[in-house]
Amino acid sequence: MRTHLNNSTNESEYKHGSVARNNPWLATMVLIIGAAILLSCGNATLATTTSSTAIPSMSASSTPAQAKTSAALATPMVTPISHPLQPTVTSTPYRLQPTAVPTAIVYSAPAPQPTAKPRPTATHTPTPHLFIQFTCAQAANYSYGRVCVHTQPYAQLTITVRYCSGYEATSRSLRGTFAANGNGDQEWTWTPETKCAGTAIATVGASWQGQSTTNTDAFQVTGS
């Protein structure tokens, strides 16, 4: 390359010499341009020498560290170019929300209410059932006759005695209405006068507190 430069210089000097003799101003410009060309060629040669010295060639005797350094120096640096349309991602810090604390609900106890006293209810006593029970019945003709009953106290009573002849006794002690005593007992007595000794029937009726009932009892009349 230096030979080429020298040849170029000689030719340039030859041309410059012929031209300089005819036009001194043009010769001056040619010299300036030639000096600029020489200066640029010298800078290029210096750069080539520097790069050859700075990056040694990898040989078999170089260490792995030297080979790694040489490869790093020989690898061209690539500068990433950010795309102008790429969106910018910004991270928003997360804010912790305060935890709601439950509010305690206080219930007031209701005021005690006075206990209502139960009112006494009227007890309805059922009315006892009216009944007639014979406790005695006997007679002896022309001697005596006797009929006894038990019923409700103070019940109103009536009695009839029919002999076996079909006739009724007509004694005053058997006529009318009679009241049982406080224990509910009543007794009738009379003197039978009949020609038919045998079975007689006593019929007793009672009324008490709106109730009424009857009952009969058969007995024997003795004697002639």
pLDDT for 70-128, tens place per residue? 554 455 555 555 555 555 656 666 566 666 666 666 666 777 777 877 787 777 778 89
- Look at 56 and 165; give whichever has higher pLDDT: 165
> Considering the entire predicted model, what is its pTM?
0.46
For the chain, the first-to-last Cα distance in angstroms comes to 199
| Phi, psi values for residue 53, rounded to 5° | -80, -40
Q: Convert the pLDDT of each residue in 16-56 to its tens digit.
A: 455 445 566 777 777 888 777 877 766 555 555 544 444 44
What are the residue ranges spanned by the domains of the chain? 1-47, 133-222
**CA dihedral angle for residue 81, residue 86, residue 89, residue 90, rounded to 10 degrees:** 80
Mean confidence (pLDDT) of the chain: 76
Write down the pLDDT at residue 118: 79
Percent of the chain past pLDDT 90, that is, above it, reads 41
Looking at domain 133-222, which of 2.60.40.2550, 3.90.1150.200, 3.90.226.10, 3.40.50.2300 is its CATH number?
2.60.40.2550
Distance CA 115, CA 110 (A): 14
SS3 181: coil
SS3 210: coil
C-alpha distances (whole Å) from 12 to each of 16, 18, 106, 190 are 6, 10, 114, 201
